[in-house]
Chains A and B, each alone.
Chain A
Amino acid sequence: DQQVKQNSPSLSVQEGRISILNCDYTNSMFDYFLWYKKYPAEGPTFLISISSIKDKNEDGRFTVFLNKSAKHLSLHIVPSQPGDSAVYFCAASPTNFGNEKLTFGTGTRLTIIP
């Protein structure tokens, strides 16, 4: 039972345009969400997070939007750059403290076309 779903295994975007990566979740107890980025042959690196008290969090070119009623979050990258080509994982947890575990999605491979 996949509680965190990334329904697009891959996405190609022209350099300079906006990349939108989507993530849906089924567990209504999830309250804290993170995005990780992974290059080939490397470990994932943390990108950005959001808690349910917000509906948007921004860090430079990266913005995460949270729609709790739809159980949906998205990561926007503007403008997209070749170095953004990577696999992106979303992850969710019932809280950002305590011993609740993170649940990861299956990942979306983003390719930025020069």
Chain B
Amino acid sequence: DAGITQSPRYKITETGRQVTLMCHQTWSHSYMFWYRQDLGHGLRLIYYSAAADITDKGEVPDGYVVSRSKTENFPLTLESATRSQTSVYFCASSEVMNTEAFFGQGTRLTVV
């Protein structure tokens, strides 16, 4: 199926653990993004990628690592999870940086 998929949909992890959220898109869009959604903050950009092997920081990058070895995949890794990283994470893709972006269904991450 064409689209953008995130996995897992739900994840509970312990403080200090490493966790990776996966994102896969089938459109071959150049740009991919990771956002987090928190009450009172809306959607905040964590990292984005303009193409394979090109990534850049967004508004809230601390504590996160990304990679993009293939155009279609853009995993987000929390190297040592903290409670403040409890959030809903959305991956998105678009052909041009700021035009219509297509979002995945989100991953609800709880750090205990």
Contacts and interface: CB of A to CB of B under 8 A. Distances in A.
Interface of A: 4, 6, 32, 34, 41-46, 49, 89, 91, 93, 95-107
Contact of B97 (A4, A42, A97): A97
Q: In the complex, which of the residues B40, B43, B58, B101 has the most CB atoms of chain A within 10 Å of its own CB atom?
A: B43
B45 A106 contact: no
B105 interface: yes
Contacts, number: 64
B106 A96 contact: no
A106 B43 CA distance: 7
Nearest to B59: A101
Interface of B: 4, 35, 40-45, 48, 50, 56, 58-59, 90, 92, 96-106
Nearest to B101: A46
A99 B43 contact: no
Contact of B50 (A43, A44, A46, A99): A99
A42 B41 CA distance: 18
B45 to A, nearest CB: 6
B40 A43 contact: no
Contacts of A95: 98
A105 B40 CA distance: 9
A95 B43 CA distance: 19
A104 B102 CA distance: 15
A32 B96 CA distance: 13
Contacts of B40: 106
A43 B92 contact: yes
Contacts of A32: 98
Given A41-B106, A99-B56, A93 B42 contact: no
